[in-house]
Amino acid sequence: EIISMDSMQIYKFMDIGTAKPPLEMRKQVPHHMMDIIYPDEDYNAYLYLRDSTKVMRKILSRGKLPIFVGGTGLYVDALTRGLIEIPKDENVRRKLWKLEESSRGTLRKILEDVDPEAARRIHPNDLKRTIRALEVYYKTGTRISELQKKVKPSGEFILFILTKNREELYNKINLRVDDMLKRGLIDEVKHLLDMGYDENLNSMKAIGYRETIDYIKGRLDYDKYVHVLKRNTRHYARRQLIWFRRYDDAIWLDLSVLGKEGVVEKIVEFIKRNCVIKGKGGKDG
């Protein structure tokens, strides 16, 4: 059974821009952690870890193999490396937000000073994670990068990373954007706005949605909109590959070399050779 590891597929009403599998496919093979919250609800890696591991245990109890699929790096980290359990402090967060609003880029400079390792891992534009890292530092007096080294993972995972040569990958991204537009991405975003979901919500700032909102609001003409959407998606794919290079024990599979069937064959062969699932009654399967 599939457990989505995509931080956008958790939202209801956001189907085309998040590339959710079609319902027919989801009926053939159970998919979990999709359509679990509304676009204006908050969600984070800690909640994902809590919810997805519950689903994982239920799947294992049925004697099935849970397969996590997706590319949200924070979710992968949460599962394979664990998370520090330090509650949010809204007072600290408000002060940090005000500081950033008064002087853009200040929090990034502070993080580079107090926790250079965390700064290297966090994208310069990722204000949310920057604030979290500083919040943890000011609450505990310890760098978040140091605390993260002490946490334990929630289970044993085998990480497969699928890749393609750059030209093929970028062409596929461009074609996928074209397909999303044909399937009605613009209408999907218009519907979300008509339902009252604000463009400043975290969910609406995701790639595919923020560019489409800019087009709907007249901030981009159509040709520029398509160009920006494809470019931003390609940049995101590049950042994902950079992120996943941190996993020394990951198994990389090149779709350009092996093809889809070859990759599936390699994964199935590995699972049969290395994975034992406890079925009902404790029997191995």
Number of domains in the chain: 2
Average pLDDT over residues 150-178: 92
Q: Tokens representing 228?
A: 């920006």
281 domain residue, yes or no: no
The pTM for the full model equals 0.83
- Is the domain of 78 the same as that of 116? no
- Is the domain of 223 the same as that of 173? yes
Residue tagged 């750059």 (tokens): 166
69 domain residue, yes or no: yes
- Is the domain of 54 the same as that of 98? no
Percent of residues, the chain, with pLDDT higher than 90: 81
CA angle 63, 18, 173 (to 5 degrees): 110
- CA-to-CA distance for 74 and 148, rounded, in angstroms? 12
CATH of the domain at 110: 1.10.20.140
pLDDT at 173: 97
CATH of the domain at 212: 3.40.50.300
- Is the domain of 232 the same as that of 199? yes
Q: What is the DSSP secondary-structure string of the chain?
A: -EEE--SSTTBTT--TTTTPPPHHHHHHS-EESSS-B-TTS---HHHHHHHHHHHHHHHHHTT---EEE---HHHHHHHHH--------HHHHHHHHHHHHHSTTHHHHHHHHH-HHHHHHS-TT-HHHHHHHHHHHHHHSS-HHHHHTT---SS----EEEE--HHHHHHHHHHHHHHHHHHTHHHHHHHHHHTT--TTSTGGGSTTHHHHHHHHTTSS-HHHHHHHHHHHHHHHHHHHHHHHTT-TT-EEEEHHHHHHHHHHHHHHHHHHHH---B-GGG-B-
The rounded mean pLDDT for the chain is 93
- Is the domain of 198 the same as that of 66? yes
Half-sphere exposure of 114 toward its Cβ, with a 13 Å CA cutoff?
19
- CA-to-CA distance for 141 and 143, rounded, in angstroms? 7
- Is the domain of 200 the same as that of 241? yes
User: pLDDT tens for residues 189-240?
Assistant: 999 999 999 999 999 999 999 999 999 999 999 999 999 999 999 999 999 9
279 domain residue, yes or no: no
State yes or no: pLDDT of 284 exceeds 60.
no
- Is the domain of 112 the same as that of 144? yes
- Is the domain of 168 the same as that of 254? yes
User: pLDDT tens for residues 36-86?
Assistant: 999 999 998 989 999 999 999 999 999 999 999 999 998 999 999 888 888
- Is the domain of 117 the same as that of 248? no
- CA-to-CA distance for 172 and 155, rounded, in angstroms? 33
- Is the domain of 259 the same as that of 221? yes
Average pLDDT over residues 27-41: 97
Sheet holding 2-4, edge to edge: 31-32, 2-4, 67-69
- Is the domain of 143 the same as that of 182? no
pLDDT band at 279 (very low <50, low <70, confident <90, very high): low
35 domain residue, yes or no: yes
Half-sphere exposure of 231 toward its Cβ, with a 13 Å CA cutoff?
7
- Let me know how long the chain is: 285
Average pLDDT over residues 248-269: 96
Tell me the residue range of the domain where 127 lies.
90-148
